[in-house]
Amino acid sequence: MNRRTDEQKGRGLTDHVFVCTNDRDSEYACCRDAHGPEVEAAIKEWLRERNAFWSTVSVSSASCLGLCSEEGTAVTIQPRDEWYDEVTPADVPDLLEAEFGPDAEELPGEQ
Ligand code: FES
């Protein structure tokens, strides 16, 4: 085991977006069936287009975030402690603009 905290802090990452892509073989809703992978891809694309993916904001698939719905995916942005449910790919630009600014200019180190 290696402690990598200082190295990671030195990279300049400010935010980590977790997107639920949980799959569940049951009668209950799960984000895998509610656009989870598509939402994650749309978030990465939006950030890449603004040179913020992995330079400032990281994105990870997550297991259940406790906001399951058939209508869309659960997303949380840490350490802001922001939480969203029922996110669809079409919602991603509005969600990220509200958090980071239209061109991600509200992130440190961005234009
Ligand atoms: S399955 Fe995604 S929040 Fe529960």
Quick: pLDDT tens for 40-91. 999 999 999 999 999 899 999 999 999 999 999 999 999 999 999 999 999 9
- Residues contacting 47, CB < 8 A, separation 6+: 53, 57, 59, 96, 104
Determine the residue of 68, 75, 87, 88 to mutate for testing ligand 1's pocket, defined as the one with the most ligand atoms within 8 A of the Cβ atom.
68
What is the average per-residue pLDDT within 32-43? 97
Record: fold of 12-100? Glutaredoxin (3.40.30)
Confidence of residue 20 (pLDDT cuts 50, 70, 90): very high
Query: How far is residue 89 CA from its own chain's centroid?
Result: 12
> Can you give the pTM of this predicted structure?
0.94
Q: How far is the CA of 93 from the centre of ligand 1 (A)?
A: 21
Beta-carbon neighbour count of residue 49 at 10 Å? Answer: 11
Total residues found in the chain within this entry = 111
Q: What is the pLDDT of residue 83?
A: 98
